[in-house]
Amino acid sequence: MGVPDKLKQLQLKKKIADSMGEFYHDPYGFVLFAYPWGDPGMLENFDGPDVWQADLLKDLGEEVRKRGFNGKDPVKPIRFSRSSGHGIGKSALTAWLVNWIMCTRPHCQGTITANTYTQLKTKTWAQVQHWTKMSIASDWFEVTGEMMYHKDYRETWFCTAQTCREENSEAFAGQHSATSTSFYCFDESSSIPDKIFEVSEGGLTDGEPMVFMFGNPTRNKGAFYRANFGLHKDRWRHGSIDSRKCKLTNKDQLQEWESDYGEDSDFFRVRVRGLPPRAGDLQFIANDLVYDAQRREARGNQDDPLIAGIDLARGGIDSNVIRFRRGYDAASIDPIKISGDKTQDSTLMVSKISDILRELKPDAVFGDETGIGGPILDRLRQLGFRVHGVQFGSRAPDSRHFANMRAFMWNKTREWLRLGSIDRDPRLEVDLTGPGFHHDRRDRLVIESKESMKKRGLASPDDGDALALTFAMPVMAKRIDRTTYKLGGIREGSWMS
């Protein structure tokens, strides 16, 4: 590169730097300036943010101007929250906010999180990486898998991606930027533990602090609910975004949901209208139940039966999963996972499963016999294994309260999690907390289907279904301690259901 070219490059960098100062109070102007709207490529069919995104950015600029931060005297925290339906562009907006703050506020410090590790890494943080690469100031920053920082000031000018597990709450503490901005962005906030929000409040005490919360309002309690609909809403610039009014949402899918569930159903209220459920949490298994079960010490009793649950995939990206449970212990034996592309070779699948069952010798095995699962389970029975086929859509033992076997087994799983222990597999965590629920016209429990979850962008809950299958029916262990016998039958505890 010759001297004239280097000079031009330096002049361009200075021009960009000078321009960033002009956008200190104007996040909407920053977004229009920083990205190649209308140019060939990903943004060639777009001229800027959606209406709801533009409105929030303009309101944010107004809040910045009202506070008039002078670089030393702390100002009142800027707090924005939006509850919404699916597919409206929340993660993209989060990335724009991160880029705006990082570009206009030297030595700012931020933390980004989401309700699950998968959501954080594959959606929220992935969007930060994606939009930073497209930014006109992209060469200022380095973005790794868990950190974004200014190349010249790594220790003082950065933001990090942090999981929101309650035991990781200390990662949200101690964040201060007295002469700049300390900021937090929470994606899918409804399922983030309150402890995380409580600890992050400590980072809003000096400088020009900011906090942003986005998500589907799957719960009618918690910090996200209070910010949008409850006691704390006067502290926040809050609002609800209806997916039907946004540019990028799949209108045909939304219409199908309206026909299936009704406009005022809890499902439609949460997933489309951005309103909290009337009946309670739309998320069937709460994050807290799963977190507690992950931390609980395994306490299996060898007299309890060893039960295996086999969820067989239909192929593709889904996995075949075998999980094991002995009483309240589902953590001691590692799950077995076989990629979905192996399912079509039934001989191979039978061979792999047979080897596993011969080694571990479970007292009972329950498998999903829907579709390809039927022939595989039939062959296992021919080989002498005690395998029971389960169809998720079949009649539940308690058909008065549960619409089908899947609802029955998942309800048993939720009850068991209050005392049980599970491994810390992130996939199991996501699967257990992913499905929503509703009640049918006979007031029976219905767990959200795999097909519905996939339409919401969630993976098939293969690990969750495998664990749930271990609750298909009561199982008696092969060995029974004779001391448990007494007049009137077998002492409670000899049967495991």
Q: Which domain holds residue 353?
A: 287-476
In sign, the C-alpha dihedral spanning 231, 232, 237, 238 is negative
Domain boundary among 247, 273, 299: 273
Same domain for 238 and 385: no
Are both 186 and 62 inside the same structural domain? yes
Q: What's residue 479's pLDDT?
A: 52
Q: Tokens 């006067």 map to which residue?
A: 234
Single-letter residue type at 30: F
Residues 6 or more apart whose Cβ sits within 8 Å of residue 237: 59, 60, 63, 79, 80, 81
Tens-place pLDDT, residues 128-175:
999 999 999 999 999 999 999 999 999 999 999 999 888 888 889 889
pLDDT of the residue at 496: 29
Same domain flag for 120 and 230: yes
- For residue 16, is it within any domain? no
Beta strand 364-368 with 387-390 is: parallel
**CA of 169: how far to CAs of 97, 202, 368, 403, 432, in Å?**
23, 12, 38, 39, 22
Is 103 among the domain residues? yes
Q: Tell whether pTM > 0.75.
A: no
Residues 312 and 259 in one domain: no
Query: Do 179 and 101 share a domain, yes or no?
Result: yes
Same domain, 346 and 420: yes
State the CATH number of the domain containing residue 134: 3.40.50.300
pLDDT tens series, the chain, 497 aa? 554 555 555 566 777 888 888 999 999 999 999 999 999 999 999 999 999 999 999 999 999 999 999 999 999 999 999 999 999 999 999 999 999 999 999 999 999 999 888 899 999 999 999 999 999 999 999 999 999 999 999 999 999 999 988 888 888 988 989 999 999 999 999 989 999 999 999 889 999 999 999 999 998 888 999 999 888 888 999 999 999 999 989 999 999 999 988 887 888 989 999 998 876 678 899 878 898 899 898 877 888 999 999 998 766 557 789 999 999 999 999 999 987 666 667 888 899 999 999 999 999 999 999 877 889 999 999 998 989 999 999 999 999 999 999 999 999 999 999 999 999 887 898 789 889 898 888 999 999 988 888 777 677 889 999 999 999 999 987 654 444 333 333 223 322 22
- The count of structural domains within the chain is 2
Q: Which residues contact 257 (CB under 8 A, 6 or more apart)?
A: 267, 268, 271, 272
Same domain, 150 and 111: yes
Q: How far apart are CA 358 and CA 447, in angstroms?
A: 33
**pLDDT at site 348:** 85
Domain containing residue 363: CATH number: 3.30.420.240
Q: Which of 238, 273, 308 is the last residue of a domain?
A: 273
Q: pLDDT value at position 485?
A: 34
Amino acid at 354: S
Only one residue has tokens 């009014």, namely 245
Kindly state whether residues 236 and 307 are assigned to the same domain: no
Residue type, 303: D
pLDDT of residue 459: 74
Is the CB of residue 159 less than 8 Å from the CB of residue 122? no
